[in-house]
Amino acid sequence: MSSALKVELGRRYRFSASHRLHTAHLSKEENNRVFGKCSNPYGHGHNYVLEVSLSGDVDPATGMIANLADLDAFVTDHVLEDFDHKSLNEDIPAFRDCVPTTENVCIEIFRRLKSFPKARLERIRVAETGKNSFEYAGDNPEGNRP
């Protein structure tokens, strides 16, 4: 990025998905103790809110750091089509051997979005309920562009 004016863009998306918090590394009793009712064998669902934050230089010709239509298409192709109205445990390969906690959902979504070519992904935030939200900014403090 140059020394031009840097702006951060935030965009919000929604998806609904089910999951079961359970791991084969724990007994049934331990899963129930750790995850409580979220370990229900039938799973449960949430209406998630995904917030994507990007940064970049403002293009002098367009006045934007990224075209929202490009971002929307990228998020739809890389996250929403796979996650919306799905079972995270059964339909998302990353969660076949990884408990789909919202912390892990954040990490997986960040991994999927970090290659957005028009701006740098700063962080993602996922709200699971009105009380619970989680944020992930990657593991590279110098920037997340591949």
Structural domains present in the chain? 6-136 (3.30.479.10)
Averaged pLDDT, groups of 10, the chain, 146 residues long: 73 98 95 95 96 94 94 98 97 95 97 95 96 90 44
What stretch of H or E contains 111? helix 102-113
Check residue 33 and give left, alpha or beta (phi > 0: left; psi -120 to 50: alpha). Answer: alpha
Q: Which of 19, 106, 108, 128 is catalytic?
A: 128
Task: Report how far residue 129's alpha carbon sits from residue 3's, in angstroms, rounded to the nearest whole number.
Answer: 39
Report pTM: 0.90
Q: Give the per-residue pLDDT at 28.
A: 94
Residues 8, 44, 81, 85: which is the catalytic one? 85
